[in-house]
């Protein structure tokens, strides 16, 4: 039997060699990458309705395609890179906001050269419309992107979403009332101030917690109905003053009415949850009522823009900016 080497040198030779700092760093980096991939997988794994916490449950006819709770703005906005049941809602209004932002700058460049009679007032009233459209669509896209973050952030995003609706409604009325009642500045001022006050009221009931309780729900609904319907009174007044033919030219009445019909139709489909209520689970990713409503909002805003451009042309050609 051979002798066992118990010398210090022998023990030293049999001891494991220490790892180099570079190999240890590589192992740490590999572990970090593995954890990141695992976290990314967890955050991009879509959930079923039954997996959702109560604060996420809104439409029981949408059964799948839900993002997990993220508790991270980065993860929530990162969800723009993969398909889920909010993808269409986010991208439809994000692209819509980009369109109206570009269209606003284009029109601003074209207003002055197009007509010598164009004034700063034309720029202001169209700026109100474009600002309202961009704010509404941008805030809506933001809300749908962060709606899976956490209860507090989702609640804040919902307030942002309602504020955007107010901006769009008020901003849309400004050019319509300016061109429609150009020859009656007193009436124009009254109607603009009334709509602005209603808009402030709707903004207040959207943000102040006291008015967001169930007891105040009828009041909140009434405020938004009043804001949406506030455009009917000046239209009827204009019809009485000028007649349908003149109102069509001054306010593009038919296009204004069409954009209102689009809003109403989209809102009705959204309220009754159609078509998904007829086939739960079939419209989870594509074609749900909320997505249809989003497209109606973009189409209605584009229709209103076209109508106001026609009113602008009439104002500076036939009327010559004169009464």
Confidence at residue 109, expressed as pLDDT on a 0 to 100 scale: 81
**CB neighbourhood size of 250 (10 A):** 22
As a whole number of angstroms, the distance between CA 219 and CA 45 comes to 40
Question: Residue positions in the annotated binding site?
Answer: 144, 290, 294
**DSSP state letters, 243-296:** -HHHHHHHH-HHHHHHHHHHHHHHHHHHHHTTTGGGSTTTTSSSS-HHHHHHHH
Dump pLDDT digits (tens) for 213-227.
Answer: 878 877 887 888 888
Domain 89-316 has CATH 1.10.1060: no
As a whole number of angstroms, the distance between CA 286 and CA 91 comes to 12
Confidence at residue 11, expressed as pLDDT on a 0 to 100 scale: 47
pLDDT band at 211 (very low <50, low <70, confident <90, very high): confident
As a whole number of angstroms, the distance between CA 109 and CA 101 comes to 13
Confidence at residue 225, expressed as pLDDT on a 0 to 100 scale: 81
Lowest mean pLDDT across 6-10, 26-30, 66-70, 245-249: 6-10
Confidence at residue 72, expressed as pLDDT on a 0 to 100 scale: 96
Tell me the whole-structure pTM to 2 decimals.
0.83
Let me know the angle formed at the C-alpha of 268 by 299 and 192, rounded to the nearest 5 degrees. Answer: 60
Dump pLDDT digits (tens) for 130-180.
Answer: 999 999 999 999 999 999 999 999 999 999 999 999 999 999 999 999 999
**Whole-number mean pLDDT of the chain?**
88
Dump pLDDT digits (tens) for 69-108.
Answer: 999 999 999 999 999 999 999 999 999 999 999 999 888 8
Backbone angles phi, psi at 144, to 5 degrees: -65, -30
Question: Residue positions in the annotated binding site for Zn(2+)?
Answer: 144, 290, 294
């Amino acid at each position: 039997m051979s002798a066992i080497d118990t010398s210090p040198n022998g023990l030293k030779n049999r001891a494991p060699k220490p790892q180099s700092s570079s190999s240890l760093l590589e192992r740490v980096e590999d572990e970090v990458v593995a954890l990141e991939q695992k976290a990314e997988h967890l955050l991009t794994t879509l959930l079923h309705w039954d997996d959702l916490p109560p604060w996420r449950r809104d439409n029981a006819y949408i059964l799948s395609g839900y993002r997990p709770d993220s508790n991270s703005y980065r993860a929530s906005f990162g969800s723009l890179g993969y398909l889920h049941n909010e993808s269409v809602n986010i991208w439809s209004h994000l692209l819509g906001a980009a369109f109206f932002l570009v269209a606003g700058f284009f029109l601003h460049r074209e207003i002055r050269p197009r007509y010598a009679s164009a004034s700063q007032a034309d720029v202001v009233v169209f700026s109100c419309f474009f600002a309202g459209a961009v704010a509404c669509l941008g805030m809506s896209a933001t809300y749908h992107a962060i709606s899976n973050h956490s209860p507090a952030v989702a609640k804040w995003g919902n307030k942002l979403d309602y504020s955007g609706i107010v901006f769009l409604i008020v901003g849309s009325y400004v050019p319509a009332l300016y061109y429609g009642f150009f020859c009656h500045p007193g009436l124009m001022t009254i109607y603009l101030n009334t709509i602005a006050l209603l808009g402030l009221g709707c903004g207040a009931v959207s943000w102040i917690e006291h008015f967001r309780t169930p007891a105040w729900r009828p009041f909140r609904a009434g405020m938004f109905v009043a804001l949406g319907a506030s455009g009917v009174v000046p239209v009827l007044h204009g019809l009485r003053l000028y007649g349908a033919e003149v109102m069509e030219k001054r306010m593009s009445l038919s296009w204004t009415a069409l954009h209102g019909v689009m809003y109403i139709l989209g809102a009705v489909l959204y309220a009754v949850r159609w078509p998904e209520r007829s086939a739960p689970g079939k419209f989870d990713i594509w074609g749900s009522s909320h997505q249809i409503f989003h497209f109606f909002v973009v189409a209605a805003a584009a229709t209103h823009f076209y109508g106001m451009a026609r009113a602008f042309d009439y104002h500076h050609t036939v009327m010559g900016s004169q009464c």
